[in-house]
């Protein structure tokens, strides 16, 4: 029998209605099979790890990711898979961060959550937990960090939350679903990452958050970009540009970016469009960016771009090496 570790970190999925307090309170996940008796029918042994103080996912930070990675590392040899119960708001960020932190992964790490608490009469929590557990304990190996939500399993660093009210809250527009769960669970094996058991599983906990995100908008004050560039210790700017990576061509705007690049700050261009992909030089409005040394983020999500930069700078790589690795596929996060 496979052994699966459920890690409860917080979020809507683990809340129950307290009849006396008239509020939602975290349930005791050591008794999860009392709340979801269907789990007893999955052919696996279930173990639990709960955060001492469960958090709202809006409070997720680097320390949280480091602690989560260490829990997986500590339990890696004792378990065949991991299901992480997590709030939806920053789930795509956590999945992306973990994908880089967990190198040579050979076991499934599946994040799931819900839009409605487990204690509600009509909820999506029960179904998401059950199916995530079935996939983690199944015969098809998925050796990567994933998000399971509303009948679909996505590669974690390709996922985005796009709805705060629908049960299908996540999508992956630039990479196909790994699994679709209908009457039967259908595995798309061609999309699932391959693993090399000979390579040693390694956990990286060093991250550098000296990253800024600038979303371009029509009429944006140039002084706003300048203030970001002046941030002490800044190492990279994620530039959310229009369409396929386009941006204003005004000399002052280009000049500020050029100044940042010449002073060692990396500028990575990604698309504001969900499912967009950057092609620097395709239009005149991106050729000037390519000329001054802006890096193309290809079809990476904002979440993947930010956490990839945090991971690479956390390894104390030079700016030149980080620049080179940003355009390379490390964990399936970018199409090359």
SS3 content of the chain, % helix, strand, coil (to 5): 35, 20, 45
Given 9, 12, 112, 301, the catalytic residue? 12
Strands 236-241 and 2-8, how do they pair? unpaired
- Active-site residue 12, yes or no? yes
Exposure string over 1-13, b if 16+ CB within 10 A, otherwise e: ebebbbbbbbbbb
User: Which ranges in the chain belong to alpha helices (H)?
Assistant: 32-35, 62-75, 91-101, 125-136, 222-229, 251-262, 284-292, 302-314, 319-326
Please say whether the beta carbons of 179 and 193 come within 8 A: no
Contacts 24+ apart (CB under 8 A), 61-64: 62/207, 62/209, 62/310, 64/9, 64/94
The dihedral sign for the CA sequence 186, 72, 65, 240: negative
Which of 136, 130, 148, 134 has the alpha carbon at shortest distance from 37?
130
Q: What DSSP line would sit under 63-114, residue for residue?
A: HHHHHHHHHHHHHGGG-SEEEEE--STTHHHHHHHHHHHEET--S-EEEE--
The Cβ of residue 334 has, within 10 Å, a number of other Cβ atoms equal to 24
Catalytic residues: 12
């Amino acid at each position: 029998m496979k052994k699966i570790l459920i890690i409860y970190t917080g979020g809507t999925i683990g809340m129950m209605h307290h009849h006396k307090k008239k509020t939602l309170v975290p349930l005791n996940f050591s008794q999860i099979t009392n709340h979801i008796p269907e789990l007893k029918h999955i052919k696996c042994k279930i173990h639990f790890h709960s955060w001492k103080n469960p958090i709202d996912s809006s409070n997720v930070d680097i320390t949280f990711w480091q602690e989560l990675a260490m829990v997986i590392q500590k339990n890696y040899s004792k378990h065949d898979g991991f299901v992480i119960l997590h709030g939806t708001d920053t789930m795509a960020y956590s999945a992306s961060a973990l994908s880089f932190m967990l190198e040579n992964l050979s076991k499934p790490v599946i994040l799931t959550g819900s839009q409605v608490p487990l204690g509600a009469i009509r909820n999506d929590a029960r179904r998401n937990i059950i199916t995530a557990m079935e996939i983690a304990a199944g015969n098809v190996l998925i050796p990567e960090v994933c998000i399971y939500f509303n009948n679909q399993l996505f590669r974690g660093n390709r996922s985005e939350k796009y709805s705060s009210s629908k049960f299908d809250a996540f999508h992956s527009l630039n990479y196909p679903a790994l699994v679709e769960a209908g009457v039967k669970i259908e595995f798309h094996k061609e999309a699932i990452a391959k693993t090399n058991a000979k390579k040693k599983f390694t956990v990286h906990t060093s991250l550098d958050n000296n990253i800024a995100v600038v979303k371009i908008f029509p009429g944006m004050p140039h002084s706003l970009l300048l203030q970001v560039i002046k941030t002490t210790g800044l190492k990279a700017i994620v530039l959310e540009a229009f369409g396929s990576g386009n941006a204003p061509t005004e000399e002052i705007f280009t000049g500020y970016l050029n100044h940042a690049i010449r002073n060692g700050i990396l500028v990575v261009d990604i698309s504001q469009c969900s499912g967009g992909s950057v092609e620097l030089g395709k239009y005149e409005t991106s050729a000037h960016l390519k000329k001054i040394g802006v890096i193309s983020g290809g079809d990476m999500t904002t979440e993947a771009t930010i956490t990839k930069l945090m991971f690479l700078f956390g390894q104390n790589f030079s700016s030149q090496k980080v620049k080179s690795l940003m355009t390379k596929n490390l964990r399936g996060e970018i199409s090359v």
